[in-house]
Structure 1
Amino acid sequence: MGLDDAVGQLTAWLATGKQSVITALPNLATALLVLVVGWGLAWVLRRAVLAAFRRIAARLPPGLTRQAWMETVDDQRAGQVAAGGLYWLVLALAAVIAVNALDVPLFSGWMDKLAGYLPKLAVAAVLVLGGVVAGRLARNAILQTASRGAASQAGKLARLTQVSIVAAAALIAAEQLGLDVSLLKNVLLIVMSAALGAAALAFGLGAREVVSDILAMHYVNKSYRIGQVVRIGSQQGRIVRTTRTSVLLENAEGELAIPGRRFANDPCVLLNEEVDRGA
């Protein structure tokens, strides 16, 4: 009698399990379909983002902006990071929808919370990526502006500006995720304001000589011509060409670059008027 009861109970369990599987088949099929469609959509979007980054680079005018964009995309792999992030975001959303389609109460609550958190995570990632790109563009702009002088000061200022932009973007992203960063924002504002002010002052002081040379060359280009032989201090030579900041003299030892400010501050003797007609 006990054996018959055990067999009957096992048969009832199997029948119940079979009925549960049959009942769940539509949900399983729906979940599987959602995962497949989500994977395909994620793959397409990843390719589209990579192509968009390449098109942006191709349409940018040659020069500083394109250089900064290419350095950010290629060196820091910003395009791959953005495409990969979108890929996994879409897969995560597909997984959430698939689990909800299974109608399992234990997991549905977790998935609902995750679904509400994913958009915030996506916005935070976009903010950080935008901060990285903007910081690199600002850094290159400062370096390009100061390419003719005060290189050490410009490098520090450019790096500090880049770090400030990225840090600010990271704090905004953290706030978007629901973290309390009010204290960190105030500290960052104070520190970065002081640091940027000090760096800008150092850059300005370091660029004084460069600015003096540029202003003096305006006077030099009006007063002297290529081919004239001049003596300034202990240096003597024939003017072969000029730049925005200096005059190049040719003598027996080779070419000598004289800063433009020396023509304004030191006595300069014009020795002859033999202008180079080929210049």
Structure 2
Amino acid sequence: MLESIRLQTLDVLSAIVAQLPNVLGGILLLLAGWLLARFLRLVITRLIRTLNHLLDRQLQGSMANFVRISSATEKLLGFVVFWTTILVFITVAVRVVGFSAAAAWLDRLVVYLPSLVTGGLIIIVAYILGTVARHVVTHAAASADIAQASLFGQIAQSSFLIVGVVIGLGQVGVDVTFLVILFAIGFGAVLAGFSLAFGLGARPLVENLIAVRHLRQFVRPGQVVEIGADRGRVLEFNTVGVVLETQEGRKLIPASVCLEQSFSVITREQTDE
């Protein structure tokens, strides 16, 4: 009985001693992977900071602020590089130790990792481009004195980000068919809303533009006309109406009013020479 226990103990110790080099090798691999991951994260951080420094020197003012890489993006890239390196070394270390089941699972994860990293990078690049587009559109709209300039900038950024997320998820392997359909429906609804709002808002302007064109065929500057309760001499036509010289002074009559109300030409004589 004691001999059997002694033999079993020796077998266990022999197995431990036999696996000890593999275990030590796995620990050394993990240590090397940790050191390499920290080094690569430091390299990425230094490269980004150097690039931002060069951009600050080459560009001035607001242009440098939206072209430079933000600190949040810098930390995110460093995080991705660090844990990607750690995961690769963990996979190798587990295989060296001899955990076949865990090694097989990690192998599948490592094979899937490039697609995951590529999808993440696509989303990050889309976010950066969206930020640049937001600043460009906002400054351009503000320079043109367009109201709600920041809103147009946010729309541009959101468009880049949505497209980047869809492409990134597709690269990862996620079925984005439903997202594409949902995005198309939402985009179509937004365009329809803008079209409807523009159509309703521009309706009086379009009516006046068409009315002015027809009015020019019947009335010439210098003639005396009576439009509803207003009577005066035609001075000129502008984009949306006719300018009359009345007893009260100059008055702009919308061209559409001339077609909707009673309209009379009192005389066809030109102004005195």
Q: 1:178 aligns with which of 173, 177, 187?
A: 173
Gaps in structure 1 of 5+ consecutive residues:
206-264, 266-279
Q: 1:92 to 1:120 in 2, by over 3 A?
A: same
String of CA shifts for 1:95-154, please: whole Å, max 9, x gaps. 1111111122221221111111221221122111111111100000101112231241x2
* % same residue: 22
Q: 1:165 to 1:40 in 2, by over 3 A?
A: same
Cα distance in 2, alignment partners of residues 198 and 136 from structure 1: 25
Cα distance in 2, alignment partners of residues 139 and 131 from structure 1: 12
TM-score of the aligned structures, taking structure 1 as reference length: 0.64
**CA shift for structure 1 position 183:** 2.5
8 A Cα contact 1:139 1:161, kept in partner: yes
8 A Cα contact 1:157 1:200, kept in partner: no
Cα distance in 1, alignment partners of residues 160 and 110 from structure 2: 30
The match for 1:58 is 53
Equivalence map 1:95-174=2 (5 Å): 95-148=90-143, 149-152=145-148, 154-174=149-169
The match for 1:89 is 84
8 A Cα contact 1:69 1:137, kept in partner: yes
Q: 1:65 to 1:182 in 2, by over 3 A?
A: farther
**CA shift for structure 1 position 13:** 2.1
AA in 2 matched with 1:8: E
The match for 1:249 is none
- If you compute each CA radius of gyration, which structure gives the higher value, 1 or 2? 2
**CA shift for structure 1 position 187:** 2.7
The match for 1:35 is 30
Q: 2:14 aligns with which of 5, 13, 19?
A: 19
**For the aligned residues, what is the CA RMSD?**
2.7
The match for 2:70 is 73
Cα distance in 2, alignment partners of residues 78 and 17 from structure 1: 51
Cα distance in 2, alignment partners of residues 28 and 42 from structure 1: 21
8 A Cα contact 1:31 1:99, kept in partner: yes
**CA shift for structure 1 position 197:** 8.4
4+ long deviations beyond 6 Å? 196-203
Equivalence map 1:191-206=2 (5 Å): 191-192=186-187, 195=190
Secondary structure of the structure 2 residue equivalent to 1:32? helix
**CA shift for structure 1 position 45:** 0.8
**CA shift for structure 1 position 180:** 0.6
Cα distance in 2, alignment partners of residues 151 and 14 from structure 1: 83
* Count of residues in Structure 1 that have an aligned counterpart in Structure 2: 197
TM-score of the aligned structures, taking structure 2 as reference length: 0.65
